[in-house]
Amino acid sequence: MNPFTGPTDRRSFLRDAGGGFGVLALAAMLADEGWLVAAEPDADPLAPRPPHFPARAKRVIFLFMAGGPSHVDTFDPKPDLTRLHGQKLPASFGMVKTRRGVDKNRLLASKRTFAKHGRSGIEVSDWFPHLAGCVDDICVLRGCHGDSVTHPESVYLMNTGSILMGRPSLGAWATYGLGTENRNMPAFVVLPDPGGWPKGGAPAWGNGYLPAAYQGTLVRGGDVPVRHLATPPGVTAGQQRRTLDFVNRANRDHLAARGPDTELAARIAAYELAFRMQAHAPEVVDLASETAETKALYGLDRKETAEFGTRCLLARRMVERGVRFVQVYSGDTNGWDAHTDIEKNHGELCRASDKPIAALLNDLKRRGLLDETLVIWGGEFGRTPMTEGTNGRDHNPHGFTMWLAGGGAKGGTVVGSTDAIGLRAAEGATHVRDVHATILHLLGFHHKRLTFLHNGRRERLTDNGGEVIDAVLA
């Protein structure tokens, strides 16, 4: 039931108009009646828009491994590191900066076993038995590098392209560029780990200097997936409808008395959207309609995978319904930050995330969604080949692994490498900026042309350079 049954019965057709169409229909109707000045660019910041050129990727799921997962224990096998285990960093590697000053510490071999998988024969460690089955869909970037040895700066770099806080995030840029196809849900959804946010907090999904409409929205399961979504306590559904009817009627009279005004009309439309969101968002996060097979696929039936699996399944449901950008965090505030006992820390997080991530890729694929959905995996940095304490690893922004799948990324490929022990990016090195340029390219943007004028500068995500990594493109 739509509460927006105003004085004209023409509105009733809106009730039956599904999805985002209702907005367009309303806009058209308002324009018809002379209330909406045509071609007003600011009226609807989230209206869907085409990118600069046609592209495969329409949506993004960014699986963010907060704290910084070790590449040498997961996707970047280093036999030389095993060979040099217990020795000091050879002098040939020169000076290296780390957060905790472990440059003089001994090298620590990975305790993991690597094996080749799939037709591509990409090596993956035994921490990811399920994901290993997906390597032919994955493009592994083994030569990534960033700019800072600290968490918040690196979290900001990975999310916003700058180590300084307060710049717009990747998800904000994507929704700024593309709008959204589902107005019943936020365009840019963030599913944080229930244990805590990544270091640096909400600015990681902030809008920076972009309009607030582009910021990430925290979404959780249950009846109130989005803040302020629930009708206030003590107000019945019927009452909410009566109140909204009153508001709508008065707003239309108010507009009629004032003549065409895009902002007033847009605000009336926003109330309609709000109502739709209230009706539809709980359905999006309700997993009741998922089959037992699907739930099991994501590991919802097992203690160690149920939580992260649920969020991966939510991510699929959202992109399926046209949400533009979903960011799923793995790991609480400390997350993958294994300064001590990497075996325990990473072992638990890998067990929690391996099956759900593999399920996500396979599920997207069998539903025909993977081709249009770019899945990104990575943390803010990798970890040092040198030990910290006896069994931990320090932060390593000098060389680490990310991977991309679907959305026009070339599966079964390895791009770039680190040096013999995994300390620094070597051949085919790709800076975080290059990864950003590539992501924007996969979404159909010339990364230098997706800009926003702020304080006299035409700002962009890849402000300090960045080149599209051609080898990633399918």
Partner 1 sequence: MRELSKRQSRMLPVRRSFVLGVTLVLAAATRADEAVDHWAWKAVVCPAVPSGLPSTGNPIDSFVRARLTAAGLTPAPPASREQLLRRVTFDLIGLPPTPREIDAFVADTSPDAWAKVIDRLLASPHYGERWARHWLDLVRYADTNGYEFDEPRPDAWRYRDYVIQAFNSDKPYDRFVIEQLAGDEAFPGEPTALVATGFNLLGPDMTDSSDQPLRRMNTLVDMTDTTALAFLGMTLTCARCHDHKFEPIPQTDYYRLLAFFAPARFRHNLHAVTPPEEEAYAAALREYDSLTRGLRDEIAAVEEPVRTRLRDAKLSRLSEEARLAHRTPEKNRDGGQLELVAQTERFIRVSDAEVVKALTAGERARLDELKRRLKSFDPRRPPTPPLAMGLSDLPGPPAKTYLLERGELANRGPEVQPGFPVVLTSGQPVPATIVPVPNSSGRRLALAKWVVSPGNPLAARVIVNRLWQHHFGRGLVATPSDFGTRGRVPTHPELLDWLASELVSGGWTLKRLHRLMLLSETYQQSTLASPRAVASDPENHLLGRMNRLRLEGEPVRDTLLAVSGRLNPKRGGPGVVLPGASQAAGGSRALPVTADAAEYARRSIYLFARRNLRNPFLETFDLPDSNLSCPKRERSTTAPQALALLNADEALAAARGMSAKLEIEHPSPSARVEAAYRLALGRPPSADERERALEFLRESPLSELCRALFNLNEFVYLD
Site for partner 1 in 386-415 (CB under 8 A): 388-389
Q: Find the length of the chain.
A: 474
Nearest CB to partner 1, comparing residues 120 and 334: 334
Dihedral of CA atoms 322, 273, 173, 432 in degrees, nearest 10, equals -50
**∠ CA(206), CA(210), CA(212), 5° rounding?**
65
Q: Which stretch binds partner 1 (CB under 8 A): 99-107, 299-307, 362-370, 426-434?
A: 99-107
Q: Which helix (H) or strand (E) holds 404?
A: strand 400-405
Question: In angstroms, what is the minimal distance from the CB of 342 to partner 1?
Answer: 13
Window 50 to 69, contacts with partner 1 (CB under 8 A): 50, 52
Question: 271 CB contacts (<8 Å, ≥6 apart)?
Answer: 4, 244, 247, 248, 251
302 binds partner 1 (CB under 8 A): no
260 binds partner 1 (CB under 8 A): yes
Tokens of 449: 């042309």
Nearest CB to partner 1, comparing residues 130 and 431: 431
The binder of partner 1 chosen from 18, 86, 259, 368 (CB under 8 A): 259
Q: Which stretch binds partner 1 (CB under 8 A): 116-124, 147-155, 360-368, 422-430?
A: 147-155
Question: In angstroms, what is the minimal distance from the CB of 177 to partner 1?
Answer: 9
- What is the separation of C-alpha 12 from the centre of its chain, rounded to a whole number of angstroms? 37
The binder of partner 1 chosen from 91, 95, 212, 292 (CB under 8 A): 212
204 binds partner 1 (CB under 8 A): yes
Question: 176 CB contacts (<8 Å, ≥6 apart)?
Answer: 45, 168, 210, 211, 214, 450, 452
Do residues 405 and 138 touch, judged by C-beta distance below 8 A? yes
249 binds partner 1 (CB under 8 A): yes
Question: In angstroms, what is the minimal distance from the CB of 89 to partner 1?
Answer: 17
209 binds partner 1 (CB under 8 A): yes
Nearest CB to partner 1, comparing residues 4 and 75: 4
Q: Which stretch binds partner 1 (CB under 8 A): 290-298, 310-318, 347-355, 453-461?
A: 453-461
Gap between the Cα atoms of 138 and 141, Å rounded: 9
282 binds partner 1 (CB under 8 A): no
**Beta-strand relationship, 325-330 and 451-454:** unpaired
Do residues 84 and 90 touch, judged by C-beta distance below 8 A? yes
Site of tokens 């910021």: 215
Do residues 375 and 441 touch, judged by C-beta distance below 8 A? no
Q: Which stretch binds partner 1 (CB under 8 A): 161-169, 317-325, 369-377, 378-386?
A: 161-169
196 binds partner 1 (CB under 8 A): yes
Gap between the Cα atoms of 449 and 462, Å rounded: 10
The binder of partner 1 chosen from 72, 191, 244, 326 (CB under 8 A): 244
The binder of partner 1 chosen from 6, 19, 45, 347 (CB under 8 A): 45
Site of tokens 């800072």: 148
Window 327 to 356, contacts with partner 1 (CB under 8 A): 333, 339-340
Q: Which stretch binds partner 1 (CB under 8 A): 78-86, 372-380, 424-432, 450-458?
A: 450-458
**Buried/exposed code over 163-174 (b: 16+ C-beta within 10 A; e: otherwise):** bebebbbbbbbb
Q: Which stretch binds partner 1 (CB under 8 A): 137-145, 266-274, 343-351, 418-426?
A: 266-274
Nearest CB to partner 1, comparing residues 7 and 121: 7
**∠ CA(453), CA(177), CA(220), 5° rounding?**
115
8 binds partner 1 (CB under 8 A): no
Do residues 354 and 127 touch, judged by C-beta distance below 8 A? yes
Q: Which stretch binds partner 1 (CB under 8 A): 82-90, 93-101, 110-118, 320-328?
A: 93-101
Gap between the Cα atoms of 231 and 252, Å rounded: 23
468 binds partner 1 (CB under 8 A): no
